[in-house]
Chain A
Amino acid sequence: MDHKTVVETTINGERMEFLCEPRQSLLEVLRDVLGMTGSKEGCLTGDCGACSVILDGRAMCSCLMLGVEAAGHKIETVEGLAQGSKLHPLQQKFLENASLQCGICTPGFLMSAKALLDHNPHPTEAEIRYALAGNLCRCTGYDKIVHAVLEASKAGASKAA
């Protein structure tokens, strides 16, 4: 068994500590060590974005990062998007616009979209499509996802707003 390390980090605003092997990705740590299964595995090569989290304000594929690399950083996952039982405007707009069908890509899209709106509160459709190009959806054809992000930005979803 590979020697396990203690890692201290901040996840969704909470200080957290976990034990992991060096070979475990952050995605594996979130899902299998911490039981936070909201981030999904789709490809393990950073091509689908289903594992997207926000690392120090930047959208990141958690499958491309090791658990041990999380030490000292701030990580946001889909589990931390809502404020208690109050949904984030992005979550609300996804529901209102029927922007999900099977829903497996939804956590990744929400995190990528949040990272976008936190930096660019009023993106154009083209800017949205560019920022979300790293998230694959096979069900929706993206139309209703883009609409939801446009509406969320109008509803003042950006933390910078």
Chain B
Amino acid sequence: MAATTEGTRQFRVIGTRPIRHDGVEKVTGAARYGADYAFPGMLFGRVLRSPHAHAIIKSIKIDKALKLAGVKAIVTAADLPELPDKIEQGGELPINLHHLSCNILARGKAMYDGHAVAAVAATSPHIAEEALRLIEVDYEVLPPMMTVEDAMAPGAAILLPALRNKEDGPDKQTNVAAHVQFKRGDVKDGFAKADHVIERTFKTAMVHQGYIEPHNAVGIYNSDGHATIYCSTQGSFVVRSLSAAVLGIPEGKIRVVPAEIGGGFGGKTTIYLEPLSVLLSQKTGHPVKMTMNRAEVLRATGPTSGGTIRCKMGATKDGKIVAAEIWMAYEAGGFPGSPVPMGAMCIVAPYDIPNIVIDAYDVVVNRPKTAAYRAPGATNAAFASETIVNELAEKCGIDQCDFRILNGAHEGTPQTAGPPYKRIGMIETVEAIKNSPHYKSKLEGKNRGRGVATGFWFNIGFQSSAMVNIHNDGTASVVTGSVDIGGSRASMAIITAEVLGLDVNDVRPLIADTDSIGYTDVTGGSRTTVATGLAVYEAAQDAVRQLKERAAKLWEKKPEEVEFSNGLLSSKSNGVKPMSIKDIVPRLGRTGGPITGRATVNARGVGPAFASTCVDVEVDPDTGKVTILRATIAQDAGKAVHPSYVEGQMQGGTVQGLGWALNEEYFYDAKGVLRNSGLLDYRMPTCLDLPMIETCIVEVPAPGHPIGSRGVGEVSIVPPPAAVANAIANAVGVRMTELPMSPGRVLKAILHKEGASVASAAAD
């Protein structure tokens, strides 16, 4: 697909599309995901979960269950150490270990339908399941607080008695875990200058990452106090540190071996079963395998927040946005930690607006503790702001793309939090949409409409380690700690091959366990190609430096006189026959030994990502069903290392965003019990719901990165709900302010509009 490339280096391997190195295993069923592991003497673990959304746990009786033949151990929170109720550094991110531990096994209180209460290990998963039914839990059921409005209302039932926030002080019990505010300029002044002001209230629903592979873990505790965990995770080092904390053992006693992972999207950057599998292994002396079923995944693993956003924006009649005032409250779930701060930082990030004030609230409710979901917090936010942007564009009589270009953030524009933007590609993505075959085509037919939206995501850098081993036949392997969730290991091989002048198939990428490779942060936050890619790049350069030193020794020259280019070592001062890596490898032993290049990074100056999406829809006025006719996404990748997998991220995020827009939501009944805990009624897009997803990779290189890459994994999910809402408005003239825009809601809006026009016609 077309790409807009701005002055990037010419690369030999970077930018090509080799077949991924793990491909054959994946298409033959040989690749081992976490649930595929089996060990001799292995037991099976299952978790007993609260059927109540909010309840005090008065007692748990396990004696009947222990008597069932085949049951080997049962654990509750009493078997875990009690951890301090305060924020600590969990790697890079602050974490409350007490809350984490309570989420793994409830301590005294069940906070949501599905909250883990006890865990059983038995000789078969069926026996373990039977044992759950024999555990007797005495609950005192309390009224559930299910929405931010319920939880914030005066007199609301208090979910966490010890929770306090800074504003309300140490003596006030509250369900508001945090309030953050961002300010710039003076919004009163700004709105006074505006010719058009739009203010609306938006509601979004809780949605799940929807990875096809449920959570899993195999825990093996050795009698010497060391444990090994095999699991599907986005972050083996996070599993190690958090499991160690929950179990109360030193981190170094746990080795985490990452299996292949069947999807994560942020939802597998935390822990659920891992410490339980180790605990049960410790109690039984056997390996213990635990998996979740789909109902457990939906009920009890972090979805992302729904919530309420009040968004007010003003523009002058020439189309300049002058002010934005936003109030947003997100559902944190049973414990604090919604992505509302990120949502607040993203909501108007694509634009250069002089006056803003954003108030964001993190609210505990009786729903599962939320976890990261692809650009956490940003999609909800963009649904609100990007639909108002379109309304303002309409009021000003300006095309939706031109309005975004007019107000677009660029180098030097202030960010909501942090330093001004460096070189970014926001405007370029809008221009790419404007010039796309899709946008240029005429959309004809009744009830059809076109909508555009732009999204932003920071992308993170953080820490990665890498090693490049040169082998005796002149090929190489590159070892990192970054779990491959979407094809990134191919990119690591590509970068190594580029630097070493090798064929990409002569570089083998591996993902190592937590003992075999240095500390590496999660595969998430759109960081892998950028940060681990940087470590790989530098490790390969380190190998080159060592190769030059060896050549210098052999040629009796100084290392500075040796060059390496196109895979050949040569001397600047000539007089020597150039050597390839293959040529020099037999002589490494006598010049000092084998060569391993290594590097570790804490990647700084990481470039943020922008994406703009255009969607054509057809709305059925009799049912409210919205059909996606055509979708195009333009995203700034900086420099695409493997374009096919960059396109894959763009398409995948777009489709998750479309599901979020049209169908996905959690249905809780009045008791706070989840009613759609299966994939039939938690309705994700199928291939029958969709057209091809057209992609346009924009390349505005990230300054300061040797390859120029920007993270691409997340931002694609941000624009679609707003783009669809804008398309629906264009198609049938109704403004949707609630997600998802399922047929019932769209039909209601259409009928309401018709009713209003009938009523006003009748009144004339």
Contacts and interface: CB of A to CB of B under 8 A. Distances in A.
Contacts of A142: 655, 686-687, 690
A102 B486 CA distance: 5
A77 B32 CA distance: 16
A106 B693 CA distance: 19
A136 B212 contact: yes
B29 A79 contact: yes
A130 B693 CA distance: 17
B648 A38 contact: no
Given A45-B294, A139-B263, A141-B651, A102 B213 contact: yes
B303 to A, nearest CB: 14
B597 to A, nearest CB: 28
A39 B29 contact: yes
Interface string B473-490: 000000000000111000
B648 A96 contact: no
A20 B213 CA distance: 25
B567 interface: no
B28 A102 contact: no
Contact of A139 (B17, B28, B486): B486
Interface stretch (B94-102, B163-171, B512-520, B677-685): B677-685
B592 interface: no
Contacts of B293: 43-44
Residue of A32, A47, A128 with most chain B CB atoms under a 10 A cut-off = A47
A41 B32 contact: no
B29 A138 contact: no
Given A129-B687, A141-B693, A81 B28 contact: yes
Given A78-B29, A101-B645, A139-B648, A48 B679 contact: yes
A132 to B, nearest CB: 5
Contact of A96 (B19, B656, B685, B688): B19
Given A79-B29, A82-B28, A103-B26, A139 B652 contact: yes
A110 B687 contact: no
Contact of B686 (A37, A91, A133, A143): A133
B214 interface: yes
Interface in A17-76: 21, 23-24, 31-32, 35-45, 47-48, 50
A5 interface: no
A115 interface: no
Nearest to A47: B679
A138 B294 contact: no
A78 B28 contact: yes
A38 B651 CA distance: 26
A144 B19 CA distance: 14
A104 B655 contact: no
Contact of B294 (A23, A44, A96): A44
Nearest to B683: A47
Given A79-B28, A143-B651, A104 B294 contact: no
A41 B35 contact: yes
A146 interface: yes
Contacts of A78: 27-29
A98 B262 contact: no
Interface size class of B (residues with CB under 8 A): 35 or more
Interface string B642-662: 001101110111111000000
A136 B679 contact: yes
Nearest to B645: A98
Contact of A138 (B17, B70, B211, B693): B211
Contact of A101 (B31, B209, B648): B648
Contacts of B262: 40, 102-105
A91 B655 contact: no
Given A98-B20, A102-B486, A104-B212, A136 B684 contact: yes
Contacts of B645: 98, 101
A40 B129 CA distance: 20
A95 interface: yes
B652 A38 contact: no
B212 A42 contact: yes
Interface in B668-698: 678-680, 684-688, 690, 692-693
A131 to B, nearest CB: 9
Contact of B33 (A77, A91, A104, A133): A104
A37 B37 CA distance: 9
Contacts of B647: 98, 144
Contacts of B29: 36-39, 77-79, 107
B162 interface: no
A8 B300 CA distance: 39
A47 B33 CA distance: 20
Nearest to A132: B687
A32 B688 CA distance: 32
A117 interface: no
Interface in A104-146: 104-107, 110, 128-130, 132-146
Nearest to B484: A102
Interface string B3-40: 00000000000000101101110111111110110100
B615 interface: no
Contacts of B653: 141
B26 A106 contact: yes
B493 interface: no
Nearest to A38: B29
Interface in B85-141: 126
A155 interface: no
Given A95-B20, A132-B687, A142-B655, A110 B648 contact: no
Contacts of A1: 69-70
A37 B687 contact: no
A142 B459 CA distance: 25
Q: Which of A24, A37, A87 is most buried by chain B, counting CB atoms within 10 A of its CB?
A: A37
Nearest to A98: B644
A137 to B, nearest CB: 7
A7 interface: no
Contact of B263 (A87, A96, A97, A138): A138
Contacts of A48: 212, 294, 679
B100 to A, nearest CB: 25
Contacts of A103: 22, 26-27, 31, 260, 262
A75 B126 CA distance: 25
B651 A140 contact: yes
Interface of B: 17, 19-20, 22-24, 26-33, 35-36, 38, 69-70, 126, 209-214, 260-265, 291, 293-294, 485-487, 644-645, 647-649, 651-656, 678-680, 684-688, 690, 692-693
Interface of A: 1, 21, 23-24, 31-32, 35-45, 47-48, 50, 77-79, 81-82, 87, 91, 94-98, 100-107, 110, 128-130, 132-147
Q: Which 6 A-B pairs give the minimum distances between C-beta atoms? A: A38-B29, A104-B262, A141-B655, A98-B644, A141-B651, A103-B26
Given A79-B28, A128-B687, A143-B690, 4 more contacts: A37-B32, A47-B679, A141-B655, A143-B692
7 contacts: A35-B38, A41-B291, A48-B294, A104-B211, A132-B686, A137-B212, A138-B265
